[in-house]
Structure 1
Amino acid sequence: MGNNGEILICFKFKTSRNPKHLKLLKKVRVTDVSSFKYLKNQREFGDVTLECCSDQRKLKAHRIVLTTCSAHFVRTFENINSDHTMVLVKKEVSSKDLELLLDYMYTGEIRISQDKLAGFLKTAEYFKVKGFTPPDEGPKQN
């Protein structure tokens, strides 16, 4: 636990095995968290806008980051081929929790106070962010 009752949450990214992700990763040369940190500062060039229904706040992001970190976003984007996508986020997800989650996806760590931890974890579980949910079991064989 850090200063002021904050908790440091860290996450190491692993390369995706999904062929679509590998193609995108090669295209943008995303090899580690430092590449995502660079993209975090380039959000005005993001190809996704997340709009929180709770307060209509809009957050820009990059599809490659969202799909590398979240099974929810993989399913959301797998059949969408537009250059820019608007995603509405259900009203139960606060824009503050979503912003923390995006920071976590881009940097691999965040500092969060204990009183905000429950909401953050609930949001991470909703979006099926790697490290917060059990890994998918592959297809079952008969």
Structure 2
Amino acid sequence: QQLYSLRWHDFQSSILSSFRHLRDVEDFVDVTLACDGKSFTAHKMVLSACSPYFRHLLKANPCQHPIVILRDVKYRDMEALLRFMYNGEVSVSNEQLPSVLHTARMLQVKGLADVP
């Protein structure tokens, strides 16, 4: 029997673009992250794929739409990390860089912290 290989050539960029769009329009968001008295919505799947910290936290919490309170996390640092998780890159100022990297290590963000 002959097998046929079907390939979606721009699969990765299309999926990334779709996740960014879903977050921008807040479709299917299923977690709220709160810090500095403000909040973000996001997707558990994206957070879990990008961070063992979030994967373990969300797996341990069966709530359908949990609210995660992030103490000692600055709003603008979390905003930068979410952009990094959804886009694969982010631009931050020289002055913000140490704080973003510290928060990335604390939250075990892949690509910015030493996590497998």
Normalising by structure 2, what TM-score? 0.79
AA aligned to 1:89 is L
Equivalent-residue separation in structure 1 for 2:27 and 2:103 (angstroms) = 24
Structure 1 unaligned regions, length at least 5: 1-29, 137-142
C-alpha change, 1:117 and 1:131, in structure 2 (3 Å) is same
Q: Note if 1:128 corresponds to 2:98.
A: no
Report SS of the residue matched to 2:60. coil
Aligned identity (percent) is 36
The counterpart of 2:51, out of the listed 56, 60, 70, is: 70
Partner of 1:47: 30
Q: Is the 8 A contact 1:47 1:83 kept in 2?
A: yes
Partner of 2:80: 100
Whichever of the two has the greater Rg, that structure is: 2
Q: Is the 8 A contact 2:109 2:115 kept in 1?
A: no
Equivalent-residue separation in structure 1 for 2:26 and 2:106 (angstroms) = 23
CA apart distance, 1:121? 0.6
Deviations 1:49-71 (A, max 9, x none): 1111xx21111111011001011
Q: Is the 8 A contact 1:37 1:106 kept in 2?
A: yes
The counterpart of 1:89, out of the listed 70, 75, 84, is: 70
Structure 2 unaligned regions, length at least 5: 1-10
Structure 1 or 2: larger strand share? 1
Equivalent-residue separation in structure 1 for 2:24 and 2:92 (angstroms) = 20
CA apart distance, 1:44? 5.5
Q: Note if 1:61 corresponds to 2:39.
A: no
